[in-house]
Chain A
């Protein structure tokens, strides 16, 4: 079994739950931005949590199923059709060969996860399927997916739970059950993100500490899998001081010398030297992954 990428859309890459154990060599964890949605997509298909799946940012992605395929879509950021008929997220779906999955614009969420029963058959690099483009490792030759890429889907093992799905005239059918997913933010929402004071909280002046929680920030255009750059009040330190670099990871809110906060995300560097004013509560990192540039966030203390 295999799938062909007709159009990658904004961005589409193979991910899993991350590349652990290599940070001492400077290799970021990577993996799905919304870990919760990735796990759910795999579970719906009867896969292990850590199977390779697709992470699609916003819309535009088109995928051809070369044979009858069982898959699921979770997360958000798009309306998904199979053979031009809308499907429901968080259900197991079975579609006949030659079916096309398309991701259309939608104002809710930002990243969708498409898991295929059996999992995508890509090579594990340093213990993970995750694509990390900066070092060209993992996924499909270390790159984001491109039009024409063909990816094999692994055979479903015999103990895989089988669903009775009736395929309709449109070439697909879906499970009569649906997994319960967390609510996703609308582009016009002001998204509340809970955070703790960070390791370098006390280096910031009082008005900057207050501004972090009392003002709203906009997710900037310079936001990607590595980090979200925030537009809003500049955050200043009490005094200029070069910090000694130490480990950083996703959820850390670091502030550049220009006073710009950056929330580190899945492809965050392993070590950083900017002061860390705060860190996002773990459970809200998945919610952040579903926010797109231009959206407003409000930090709340925990």
Chain B
């Protein structure tokens, strides 16, 4: 896949942008390129940060910007469907939908029953497009059309950690108590960020996720 744009976000960070849209094909390419660079690191490389449709490469003064562009461009040419690392494992995330404080309002705004929100949200397998916003926050897609809602006009000041939320065609999980503008439809007992774990983030870009409804009792018993 050719990139549509290359630009600097810092003297030592270049972004390679592949498309101006959110698409699974593009994101697969971004993450394949990240894995390829990680597996074949060059002198001066610090780290690669994947986003929906772009990869940002951070480097130090051992290498200059033009050398990075040339190296990454060569790597990009070498990427083929054979080098693609697709993770077929599906990670199940338990969600107590009864604890989703916005689930009633979401259901009424979408003109469907609460049970249908749960059924729709748990039916799909979602791709983790990227991790950001806060440590461990997964941006996952794609939501069924029947669940798409614009984000809230006024963000909630304190979204509880573990909140499973939706906005646009995305679903995500808040790892910490933070402000947030997404609609909260449930809560997971899983810790999305744990500094002692390797990796510290429960999910990684490129992984597949499916939600499983659990009761409050099951939530409370979860260890």
Contact = CB atoms under 8 A, between A and B. Distances in A.
B134 interface: yes
B126 interface: no
Contact of A251 (B10, B22, B139, B204): B10
Nearest to B10: A249
A24 B193 contact: no
Interface residues of B, number: 43
Contacts of A167: none
B36 interface: no
A143 B176 CA distance: 15
B131 A26 contact: yes
Interface stretch (B65-73, B76-84, B194-202): B194-202
A250 B9 CA distance: 9
A215 B57 CA distance: 33
A249 B13 contact: yes
A245 B138 CA distance: 13
A23 interface: yes
Contact of A271 (B13, B48, B51, B136): B51
Interface in A217-263: 244-252
A249 B47 CA distance: 13
Given A246-B17, A246-B54, A270-B49, A252 B9 contact: yes
A22 B58 CA distance: 12
B182 interface: no
A247 B46 contact: no
Given A247-B9, A282-B10, A270 B132 contact: yes
A72 B54 CA distance: 43
Contacts of B130: 245, 271
A25 interface: yes
A23 B49 contact: yes
Given A134-B176, A246-B54, A271-B49, A25 B135 contact: yes
B63 to A, nearest CB: 15
Interface of B: 5, 7-13, 15, 17, 20-22, 34, 46-54, 56, 58, 130-137, 139, 176, 178, 193, 195, 199-201, 204-205
Interface of A: 20-28, 125-126, 134-135, 137, 196, 199, 244-252, 269-271, 276, 279, 281-282
Given A24-B48, A26-B134, A26-B137, 7 more contacts: A22-B135, A26-B135, A125-B195, A134-B135, A134-B176, A246-B52, A271-B130
27 contacts: A20-B46, A20-B58, A22-B47, A23-B58, A24-B47, A24-B49, A24-B131, A25-B201, A26-B132, A26-B133, A26-B134, A26-B135, A28-B135, A135-B176, A135-B195, A199-B5, A244-B51, A246-B15, A246-B51, A247-B13, A247-B51, A249-B10, A269-B133, A270-B49, A271-B130, A279-B10, A282-B10
